[in-house]
Amino acid sequence: MEEVISGGITAVPGIKATGVHCGIKGNKKDLALIYSPSPGVAAGVFTTNLIKAAPVLVSYRNIKEPVTRAIVVNSGNANACSGERGRKDAERMVELTAQHLDLDPSQVLVSSTGVIGQFLPMEAVEKGIKSACENLNEEGGTLAAEAILTTDTIKKERAYTFELSGKKITIGAMAKGSGMIYPDMATMLAFITTDISISKPLLEKALQESVKNSYNLITVDGDTSTNDMVIIMANGMAGNPKITEEGEEYYKFVEALNFVNKEMSRIIIRDGEGTTKLIEVNIKGTTSYQMGRRLAMGILNSNLVKTAFFGEDANWGRIITAMGYSSREFIPEQVDIYLEDLQVMKDGVGLQFDEDKAREILSAREVKVFIDLKMGPEEITAWGSDLSYQYVTINSSYRS
């Protein structure tokens, strides 16, 4: 059973981090650094957008190496669509971090987030990397979590422990994401640290499986970014027998990792740009994960559904309509729909329901929609947000 503890990525033994202001953004922290003094293994999942930012390409290459020791992240500038200069700047961030920490450059990953199409102010970034390397500490996780934010209104960090083979395992996480949220991945970054001892192939498999059931089931606005990534780094300091094959210990770790990543996903959605409500869609009776995901994302990306929730209007017709254009695999005459415990559709036909109760349900900060297709054994849960006036305001002046 996972236990929530205070802290974020540096709640994990042996992990150091910090966040500093280097000058990319006004007077806010804009450069973060995560470091493991002991050699670790890492795994990552990256954006599927055809347009990939320079740091994504560099990290995608470096993460294939057997050892990862550090991750450097800047906010306020995406270093995307920046050509050869952008690639060289991402490489320079890696090289400088490695130089200051006495590492091989292949052991360093890099990430950026912010405005697309602008060059990094490298003189400021270089000073920031030097400062970050000099100020690494075992309580710097919160500073790092603050330094990766853009339009976020809150820092996003959590830490958890669980027991494995008689050893306490810790998982820490920090993330950023508020808008451009629609994975295969979204404009979101998540960095996870853990002290578990596990082989690199199994860490990769665990992360892929966990991302599929967490970050790839969230949406704010249906936009997939150029910079998205989720990175996990395991330093092995918990002292558990190294996990080298699938079995009870591996599955227990995957369960804990799912718990962490689902919670981080929900935090991202709660802080969605202009969001007033978190919408959770649970679909059971599907024949496959892919079918359930298509339907859930179709519902949660529908502007008509999103605005109905913002207006607290129990217009369930928008839900079934979004399902109808998202997939042709289900049988409309079998569908049941509930808003929390209030049934509004049965076997594909709308029901008379208590409008006052519906308004009360929809006035909550978090609203759950339950859908039963009665077709198969699979079940899926996805998370999204409503669409408010504030979302338009935020995104109409993002560059300024």
Which sequence positions are flagged as catalytic?
187
**Token pair for 155:** 């820092």
Q: Which among 242, 239, 136, 260 is positioned nearest to 191, based on CA atoms?
A: 260
d(Cα 203, Cα 244) in Å, to the nearest integer? 9
d(Cα 293, Cα 309) in Å, to the nearest integer? 20
In terms of Cβ atoms closer than 10 Å to its own Cβ (0-12, 13-18, 19+), residue 97 is: buried
Q: Are strands 378-385 and 108-115 parallel, antiparallel or unpaired?
A: unpaired
**Token pair for 130:** 């030097």
Residue with tokens 């509004």: 344
Task: Enumerate residues 6+ apart whose C-beta is below 8 A from 283.
Answer: 292, 295, 296, 371, 372, 373, 379, 380, 381, 382
Instruction: Give, for 102, the enclosing helix (H) or strand (E).
Output: none
**C-alpha angle with apex 254: 378 to 41, nearest 5 degrees?**
140
Q: What is the CA 157 to chain-centroid distance, rounded?
A: 11
In terms of Cβ atoms closer than 10 Å to its own Cβ (0-12, 13-18, 19+), residue 146 is: buried
d(Cα 105, Cα 93) in Å, to the nearest integer? 10
Q: What is the CA 335 to chain-centroid distance, rounded?
A: 31
Residue type, 232: I
